[in-house]
A = this chain, B = another copy of it.
Amino acid sequence: MPISIEKQNIERRRKLLKCSLDLFIEKGYFNTAIRDIIARAEIGTGTFYNYFIDKEDILKTLLEDFAEQIISSISEYYTVEKDLYERFIETKRLTMEVFAQNEALSELYSRVAGASDPIDQSLQQFENRLIGFYSRNIEYGIKKGVFKNIPVSPIAHSILAVEKFLLYKWVVLRVISKKEMIQMVVSFHETLAAGLLAND
């Protein structure tokens, strides 16, 4: 039975992304050339350019898909948990578990910052997606009267900042374990949530 073209396209794209990520971790992002990716994926050069413009485009796509995965995990959890304090804490545990389960992507995210403008653009898109999502959730808590009416953007940024920093300590520096990383992120958010909660 012939595979449909659409299915083949999806498979090829997935394979290209998978081979790229493997190479980025093995050789480093900067030491990986597009010809390495093409060789690993066993496709023609022309085929590669049907899917991606350049290496930065792959990075951007990997991070976009990753942000999507994090946000849908949290959104799914929202359908089962309605208490806003519980949500605020437990979604951070969940986020760190998604990071931990995707170790290669987490390492890539933690290693490439600051290296060049196109890379920083991709990172910023990824981070803005998460910060935007975090902001809307805090705004919802304020609207419901559960959280104080504080400036939202600094808090949304701080959530990602703490997640990112402790992820880096685990996945790059290897000075804390996965479990310690998750515990520290959760502990911080418990203190922060106490400052966020409206006092009535």
Q: Which residues of A contact B (CB under 8 A)?
A: 110-115, 120, 124, 148, 150-151, 153-155, 157-158, 160-162, 164-166, 168-169, 172-173, 175, 183-185, 187-188, 190-196
How far, in angstroms, from A154 to B124 measured CA to CA in the complex? 25
Copies in the complex: 2
Per the bound structure, the CA–CA distance linking A157 and B154 in Å amounts to 16
> In the bound complex, do residue B165 and residue A161 qualify as a contact, i.e. CB atoms below 8 Å apart?
yes
Does B124 lie within 8 Å of A168, measured CB to CB? no
A195: contacting residue among B115, B162, B175, B191, CB under 8 A: B191
Taking a contact as CB atoms closer than 8 A, the residue among B160, B173, B183, B195 that contacts A192 in the complex is B195
A178 to chain B, nearest CB (A): 15
Contact B157 A162 (CB under 8 A): yes
Is there contact, CB below 8 Å, between A157 and B195? no
